[in-house]
C-alpha cells in the first residue's frame, strides 16, 4: 500500500530470486529507501510460527500471515558485476487506510480508520516507461505501447543492445511522434549557445581555430581531444580532413548563427521553454505574461482580458484606437494569414478566443495598448546592418506608441513561435 490512496493487494506473492522494489520505507543508516531494487532471498519467521501448505489455482504454495513474519531478506541489486554482494532486510509496516467496498448498484460501504500490516515492497518483474527513465537493462520485454510524446524512444533505448529487446506487439510506426517542437527549439538554442561560446573562445585564443565548431559540441570536443593527444600520428586522410576544416570553418557560420551570437553579446537572452510553460497557439500571450508582474504565468487569462478590452473599445465611438484598428483590418483583408479570411474585426475577436489559434499582428496591437507596454520583436530571419564595422540588428516590428516600458520578443517563423527575451545589464 503506497500513501493513502491506491489498490491494496491482499497477498504478496514471492519466490526465491524474484525481483522486488522497496516502496514505502526509509532507513538512511542502512541505505534502504523507496526505489531500492533487489532479489528476494528468504524470510525469517517469528518464534513458534511455521509455513502453511495450500493449493492455489492448482499449485502448491506456502503461506503465512505478515504479522507472523519477523523480516524478509533481500539481495541488493548490483550496479556493477564486481560490486560485493550486499543484503538488506525489511520488517512489516502499518498503514492507516480508508476502504470502500462496492455493493450492488452505485452504493459503497466505507470503512474508515482501517489498519493494514504489510511489507513495504512490490514485485519488480514489470514496470512502466516512466519508471524506466535513466535505467539501463540487459533485457526488456515490451508488452504494450504508449504512443505519447517520446515514450517509445524512452522505453526502447533502455536496453544495452537490440538483442535484449523483445516486443509482444508490432510497433505501429504511423502513431510514433517525432521529437516535440519544444524539444527541437531547446536543442537548437543549446547548440547555438554552445557554438557561439566556442567561437568566442577561438577569437580569444582559448580554443583551436582549425576546428569546425559548427559540427556540434559533442563531435567538436571529441575531435579536439584526438588532435591534442596524437598530433603527430595522424594519417594523410585525417590531415586532409583537418586542412579542409581549417579552410571552411570561418565560412560555415549561417546568418541565423550570427544573429544568435549578436543577441548573446548584447545581453539579450532568449528564455528557454523549460523556464515557463506555454500552450501551442498561445505562445505570444504566454511569453508576454512571463515578464509581466500582474499576468505572470497567466497567458490564457491575459488573452481573454485583452480580447475583452478590445470589445469594450469598439463600443467607444470616439476611440482613436478603434478607428485605426478597423481601418487596418479592412486594408489587410487580402492577407489571410493575418485576418484568417474573416470579414470583419468582430469576427476576428470571436475566432481568436480559442487559445490554440496563433496570434497575429492584430493581437500585438491589442496587447501593446491594453498593457500600455511597448513590444519589440526580433526575428531569426532579421537582416544585419554594418555600423562602425560591426554587424547590428534592429527589431523587425515595433509596437510602442511611446510607452515607457518595452517587452522584447523573439519570433521563429519556421515554428510560428514567439518567446520572451530577457535583457541582462
Own/partner long-range contacts of 365-369 (Cβ < 8 Å, ≥24 apart): 365/325, 365/328, 365/399, 366/306, 366/307, 366/309, 366/310, 366/325, 367/284, 367/285, 367/288, 367/302, 367/306, 367/399, 368/399, 368/400, 368/401, 368/403, 369/321, 369/401
Tens digits of residue pLDDT in 363-418: 988 998 999 888 888 887 767 776 666 677 777 677 766 788 888 888 776 555 66
Mean pLDDT of 215-223: 47
How does DSSP assign 268-305, residue by residue? EEEPPTTTS---TT-HHHHHHHHH-TTTTT-HHHHHHH
Among 107-111, 120-124, 220-224, the range scoring the smallest mean pLDDT is 220-224
pLDDT at 264 > cutoff 80: no
Range of weakest confidence among 162-171, 326-335, 396-405: 396-405
Return the higher-pLDDT residue of 417 and 300.
300
Kindly report the pTM of this predicted structure.
0.42
The pLDDT, as a whole number, for residue 405 is: 84
Pick the CATH number of 269-423 from 3.90.70.80, 3.40.47.10, 3.40.449.10, 3.90.1150.10: 3.90.70.80
Q: Report pLDDT for 251.
A: 39
Where are the CATH 3.90.70.80 domain residues in the chain?
269-423
Higher-confidence residue of 33 and 422: namely 33
State the Cα–Cα distance between residues 363 and 358, nearest whole angstrom.
9
> Per residue in 116-152, pLDDT tens?
888 888 888 888 887 777 778 888 999 888 887 778 8
Alpha helices in 315-357 (DSSP H): 320-331, 336-339, 345-351
229-241 tens-digit pLDDT: 443 333 333 333 3
Amino acid at each position: 500500500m503506497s500513501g493513502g490512496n491506491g489498490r491494496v493487494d491482499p497477498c504478496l506473492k514471492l519466490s526465491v530470486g524474484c525481483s522486488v522494489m522497496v516502496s514505502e520505507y526509509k532507513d538512511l543508516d542502512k541505505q534502504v529507501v523507496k526505489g531500492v531494487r533487489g532479489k528476494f532471498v528468504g524470510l525469517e519467521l517469528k518464534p513458534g510460527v511455521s509455513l502453511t501448505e495450500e493449493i492455489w489455482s492448482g499449485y502448491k504454495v506456502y503461506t503465512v500471515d505478515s504479522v507472523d513474519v519477523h523480516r524478509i531478506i533481500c539481495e541488493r541489486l548490483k550496479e556493477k558485476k564486481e560490486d560485493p554482494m550486499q543484503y538488506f532486510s525489511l520488517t512489516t509496516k502499518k498503514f492507516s487506510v480508508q476502504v470502500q467496498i462496492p455493493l450492488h448498484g452505485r452504493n459503497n460501504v466505507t470503512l474508515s480508520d482501517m489498519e493494514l500490516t504489510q511489507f513495504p515492497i512490490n514485485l519488480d518483474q514489470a514496470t512502466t516507461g516512466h519508471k524506466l527513465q535513466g535505467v539501463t537493462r540487459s533485457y526488456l520485454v515490451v508488452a504494450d505501447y504508449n504512443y505519447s510524446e517520446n515514450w517509445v524512444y524512452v522505453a526502447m533505448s533502455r536496453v544495452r543492445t537490440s538483442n535484449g529487446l523483445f516486443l509482444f506487439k508490432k510497433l505501429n510506426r504511423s502513431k510514433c511522434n517525432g521529437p516535440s517542437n519544444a524539444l527541437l527549439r531547446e536543442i537548437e538554442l543549446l547548440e547555438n549557445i554552445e557554438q557561439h561560446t566556442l567561437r568566442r573562445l577561438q577569437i580569444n585564443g582559448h580554443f583551436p581555430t582549425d576546428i569546425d565548431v559548427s559540427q556540434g559540441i559533442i563531435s567538436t570536443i571529441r575531435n579536439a581531444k584526438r588532435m591534442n593527444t596524437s598530433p603527430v600520428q595522424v594519417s594523410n586522410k585525417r590531415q586532409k580532413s583537418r586542412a579542409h576544416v581549417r579552410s571552411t570553418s570561418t565560412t560555415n557560420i549561417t546568418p541565423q548563427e550570427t544573429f544568435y551570437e549578436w543577441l548573446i553579446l548584447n545581453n539579450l537572452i532568449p528564455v528557454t521553454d523549460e523556464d515557463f510553460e506555454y500552450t501551442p497557439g498561445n505562445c505570444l500571450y504566454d511569453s508576454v505574461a512571463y515578464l509581466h508582474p500582474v499576468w505572470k504565468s497567466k497567458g490564457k487569462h491575459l488573452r481573454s482580458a485583452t480580447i475583452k478590452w478590445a470589445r469594450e473599445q469598439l463600443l467607444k465611438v470616439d476611440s482613436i484606437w478603434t478607428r485605426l484598428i478597423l481601418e487596418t483590418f479592412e486594408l489587410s483583408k487580402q492577407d489571410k494569414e493575418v485576418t484568417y479570411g474573416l470579414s470583419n474585426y468582430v469576427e476576428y475577436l470571436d475566432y481568436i478566443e480559442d487559445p490554440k489559434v496563433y496570434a497575429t499582428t492584430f493581437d500585438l496591437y491589442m496587447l501593446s495598448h491594453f498593457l500600455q507596454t511597448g513590444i519589440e520583436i526580433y526575428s531569426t530571419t532579421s537582416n544585419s546592418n554594418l555600423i562602425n564595422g560591426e554587424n547590428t540588428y534592429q527589431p523587425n516590428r515595433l509596437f510602442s506608441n511611446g510607452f515607457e516600458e518595452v517587452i522584447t520578443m523573439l519570433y521563429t517563423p519556421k515554428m510560428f513561435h514567439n518567446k520572451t527575451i530577457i535583457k541582462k545589464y
